Structure 1
Amino acid sequence: MAKIICWCIIVLPFFIYLNDFTSFCGLSLDFYSSSCPNVELLIKDTVRSATAVDPTIPGKLLRLVFHDCIVEGCDGSVLVQGNDTERSDPANTSLGGFEVVENAKRWLEVLCPGIVSCADILVLAARDAVEIARGPSVAVPLGRLDGRTSSAANVRPNMVDTSFSIDEMTQLFSSKGLSLDDLVILSGAHTIGKAHCSAFSERFEEGPKGTLEPIDASLNKDYAMELIKQCPAGASGAVTVNNDPITASIFDIQYYKNLIAGKGLFSSDSVLMSDSRTRDRVESLSTNQDEFFKSWSESFLRMVSIGVKTGNNQGEIRTSCSSFNI
């Protein structure tokens, strides 16, 4: 099945990007203004209520939208349950936040049946998650359709691994129309959220006494020992740690400060500081939150434009986000 990918707008300046988005992708800032005028308010209230109960929700939603967009484009395909779907792949089994999207969808099906796509709900929920975590608010063009396919086989070839090198990440991002600067900016999402111990286990090895020892010289020694305390040898696969050990629930520039201090949780974080192509950008962002917020808004919009599907032949509006329409 053919899909529309908005490669041509990705290189445009931010202000042109927003103004011309509709002419390229069939999306618009007021897409639901007549058909479902309260959609953004309802989704934001849903995210806010969920976060009040579970403070980890913002990080989960941000990770969820990335895993959706990076594979088959921003089409809600990661939300579909079933054997051999994207959601079933081991790289996605630790994802969370699905219930937030489903709750918003149920309300919208009552108020505006058959109007709002799960793909748009997920993008808006992730946008709101950042704002609720004290990050920037981004005006997001809407009108995406939900994809009609979801295949586990598409996940691994398109997914960033936490042990990737700069070259591996750059190649993958470039294939999606994203730049090296987008890589640095979007990695800033790790300023919130949690990770399972297995996501950074390659940075440690089991010593002769059965305890873990750090083997990655880029890790701050004190931070490495703290991670070992939280994730000892033989720790349950359910154990998680904060991506950001300082301001875990706040969307800020602490992530970049952590990289400079040798406290990047993943190998893919630390290489941003050790590689000359990205080091200066990390250092610049670590001292200027306004710059980070502006850049985040631009890179987030580029990310949520990947693989956008519009037009009846491209997708559908699912009744339930977890299953295709019959």
Structure 2
Amino acid sequence: MEQKLVILFNNPTSHLCNLVLLLLVMLLSTPSSSSSFDLSLNFYAASCPTAEMMVKNTVRSASSFDPTLPGKLLRLLFHDCFVQGCDASVLIQGNGTERSDPANASLGGYSVIDSAKRVLEIFCPGVVSCADILALAARDAVQLTGGPAVEIPTGRRDGMVSEVSNVRPNIVDTSFTLDEMINIFSSKGLSVDDLVILSGAHTIGSAHCSAFSDRFKADSTGNLSLIDATLDGQYAAQLTKQCPVGASASVTVNNDPDTPQLFDNQYYKDLLAHKGLFQSDSVLANDARTRTKVVDLANDQGIFFQSWAQSFLKLVSIEVKTGDEGQIRQSCSVTNSG
């Protein structure tokens, strides 16, 4: 289009046409000012060159004392990005915030983000966003548990709004059907393949018994019996021992019964063996629209890692705030005053 405008400019029919075309050429040849607001690799190279290393060291140190933290950080990121985008709005405390919704009551890893933020505020005050810290921490959690090293762009800004009413319409429940999950993922710009790949996050982490209790029922004697025929019988028996009737609400079960603290493709092997912990896991192996991808990822960990890097990049780019949007919070749990 620019070439055509130049040709017309060389053959002007009037001074007015000449001026208009010149302005158009200048507009097309000048980078948009908004381009400087895009996410970019090494965004903090000049303003805080050790930012990513500080986050990684914080995650590594905390995880060495609590090996459940990587799974918690990864889940925390999902719950943030799926609600109003990756803007750290899930970290804000207070009545009526996302964090106050019962669906987010079991989230963890907040202390790791807060620790990283405190360190960064000492060395680079007012520079690194909580949204970037969360994205980097989840990325590092995957690598620290044996997963792929993924390079992600930074430059996210922190959201200033966190409302409980936005949570339920935007997050996936463990009892969802495949259609319900596809609808949620599609609304975030994620494909069916992304759904299968990102569900691989369940290869680490744990869940409370209530998250899969709908797959069982208590009989007249108070014992649990399996009502979901898609679940392996022996695995179901193992779950009922770990989560008997009357079990404490604090009891948790590993998402992956075989390699719970290792980020690998065992999750997909479990699905094919009918050992998906959640109903939303099991449907991936039982529906023709997703089973082929599950088989591919179960058969080749390299394919899973490569696919994960691509889908994770899409996840951490959902509805990000950049440029003059949002703010850089001084504390991740509250917005800046004024």
Q: Is the 8 A contact 1:272 1:279 kept in 2?
A: yes
Unaligned runs of 5+ in 1: 1-21
Give percent identity, aligned residues only.
64
SS in 1 for 2:225: strand
Amino acid at match of 1:215: I
- 1:306-325 residue pairs with structure 2 within 5 A? 306-312=318-324, 314-325=325-336
Q: Is the 8 A contact 1:25 1:308 kept in 2?
A: no
Q: CA deviation digits over 1:1-23, x for unaligned, max 9? A: xxxxxxxxxxxxxxxxxxxxx95
SS in 1 for 2:104: coil
Counterpart pick for 1:177 among 186, 189, 199 = 189
2:10 — aligned with what?
none
Q: CA deviation digits over 1:148-206, x for unaligned, max 9? A: 10000000010100000000000110011000000000000000000000000000000
- 1:188-227 residue pairs with structure 2 within 5 A? 188-227=200-239
SS in 2 for 1:37: coil
2:167 — aligned with what?
155
Counterpart pick for 1:119 among 131, 144, 149 = 131
Q: Is the 8 A contact 2:297 2:303 kept in 1?
A: yes
Q: CA deviation digits over 1:2-57, x for unaligned, max 9? A: xxxxxxxxxxxxxxxxxxxx959611101100000000111000000000000000
1:238 — aligned with what?
250
1:281 — aligned with what?
293
Counterpart pick for 2:55 among 43, 57, 70 = 43
Which of structure 1's runs of 4+ aligned residues deviate more than 4 A?
Answer: 22-25
Higher relative contact order (CA 8 A, sep 6+): 1
Unaligned runs of 5+ in 2: 1-33
Q: Is the 8 A contact 2:36 2:323 kept in 1?
A: no
SS in 1 for 2:147: coil
1:10 — aligned with what?
none
SS in 1 for 2:308: helix
Aligned-partner Cα distance in 2 for 1:245–1:128: 23
1:76 — aligned with what?
88
Q: Structure 1's 212 and 111: CA in aligned 2 closer, same or farther, altered over 3 A?
A: same
Aligned-partner Cα distance in 1 for 2:254–2:263: 13
Q: Is the 8 A contact 2:98 2:104 kept in 1?
A: yes
Post-superposition offset of 1:236: 1.1
Task: Give the TM-score of the pair, scaled to structure 2.
Answer: 0.89
2:25 — aligned with what?
none
Aligned residues: 304
2:115 — aligned with what?
103
SS in 1 for 2:263: coil
Task: Give the TM-score of the pair, scaled to structure 1.
Answer: 0.92
Q: Is the 8 A contact 2:72 2:108 kept in 1?
A: yes
Post-superposition offset of 1:87: 0.5
Post-superposition offset of 1:208: 1.5
SS in 1 for 2:329: coil
1:135 is the counterpart of 2:147: yes
Q: Is the 8 A contact 2:39 2:155 kept in 1?
A: yes
Post-superposition offset of 1:119: 0.1
- 1:7-22 residue pairs with structure 2 within 5 A? none
Aligned-partner Cα distance in 2 for 1:118–1:256: 32
Amino acid at match of 1:322: S
